[in-house]
Homo-oligomer: A and B are copies of this chain.
Amino acid sequence: MDKDDFFEKIKGNLNNGSTIVFAANCEVAYSGRAESHLPGGDRIILIKPDNTLLVHQPSGTTPINYMKGGSSHAIYLKDDLLLESRNLLTKEYLKIFIKKVHFFNTHKLDDAEKISLAGSEKDMSEMIYKNPLLIELGFKPLSMEEHTKYGFIDVFGYDKENVFVAVECKRYTGDLNAVTQLRRYVEKIKKLKGLEKVRGILACPKISPNALKMLHDWNLEYKSVHPPKHLEKYKKDQKKLFHYE
Contacts and interface: CB of A to CB of B under 8 A. Distances in A.
A29 to B, nearest CB: 4
B118 A36 contact: yes
Interface stretch (A105-113, A136-144, A161-169, A194-202): A105-113
A231 interface: yes
B103 A107 contact: yes
A58 B64 contact: no
Interface string A55-67: 0111111011110
Nearest to A54: B61
Contacts of A207: none
Interface in A31-46: 31, 33-44, 46
A2 to B, nearest CB: 16
A5 to B, nearest CB: 15
- Looking at chain A, what size class is its interface with the partner chain? 35 or more
A19 B22 CA distance: 11
Given A42-B107, A58-B110, A95-B242, 17 more contacts: A23-B109, A29-B241, A31-B242, A34-B117, A34-B119, A34-B229, A35-B118, A35-B234, A38-B114, A41-B109, A46-B56, A49-B59, A59-B69, A102-B107, A103-B107, A177-B180, A180-B184
Interface of A: 19, 21, 23, 29, 31, 33-44, 46, 48-50, 52, 54, 56-61, 63-66, 68-69, 93, 95, 102-103, 105, 107, 109-120, 171, 176-177, 180-181, 183-184, 214, 229-231, 234, 237-238, 241-242, 245
